Amino acid sequence: MAEITRKELLLALISSGDRPRLSGLDLSGLDLAEIDLRSANLRNTKLGGADLSYADLSEAVLWGAVLIDANLTRVKLVSANLTNADLTGANLHEAIMSTCVLTGANLANARLTFAKLSEVIANEAHLQGANLNGANLTFAKIASCNFGEANLSGADLSGSDLRGSDFRGADLTFANFSGADLSHTLLAGANLSGANLRGIYLSGGELTEATLDGAIMPDGTRHF
């Protein structure tokens, strides 16, 4: 099917109702920048390599969707459901994703720089090698996640549930973990230089194998 025909089909489906049903379609590589897909059903839809920059997918269902290497710059995914979606290598720079569901999603090597992820539910998500520099993850539920070798420098994870997550080898410099639950986390080889660890919960966790130069410790003292 020619690309323009596929796009025309998509636009026809969108105009057919308030909740477009696009589940299971192959929309890989399409230019869908700035498109309005609020509340759309995109379950298991293939969107690999698609341009969804500045699109609005708030409250959309993207359960199991394939978004490998998709351009999602500044996309709106507020309260969207991306359970088990594959976003490997996707560009989510400055994406607005507060309260969305990313449980079991694959975000390995994705770019989430300065993304707004407050109150997301992303338990058991895969974020190894992802770039979350400056991201807002306040009060997020991200337990049992893999952040191995990820970049979370300057990220705000205050008040978040990080229980059982793997941060081995991650860049956590100047990240804010104040009041977060890091119980049973793996932090060997992580760089926490300058990080704010004030008031964290660390039952079963271990900081001794992490770099802590200049970090604010759980009791409020600075590590030297």
DSSP symbols for 11-71: HHHHTT-SS-B-TT-B-TT-B-TT-B-TT-B-TT-B-TT-B-TT-B-TT-B-TT-B-TT-B
The residues near 207 (Cβ < 8 Å, ≥ 6 apart) are 187, 192, 197
In this prediction, residues 89-114 reach a mean pLDDT of: 99
| 208-219 core/surface letters (b: 16 or more CB in 10 A; e: else) | eebbbeebbbbe
CB 142 within 8 A of CB 163: no
% of the chain surpassing 90 pLDDT: 86
pLDDT at 1: 43
In this prediction, residues 69-80 reach a mean pLDDT of: 99
- Give this prediction's pTM: 0.92
| Predicted confidence (pLDDT) per residue in 163-191, tens digit | 999 999 999 999 999 999 999 999 999 99
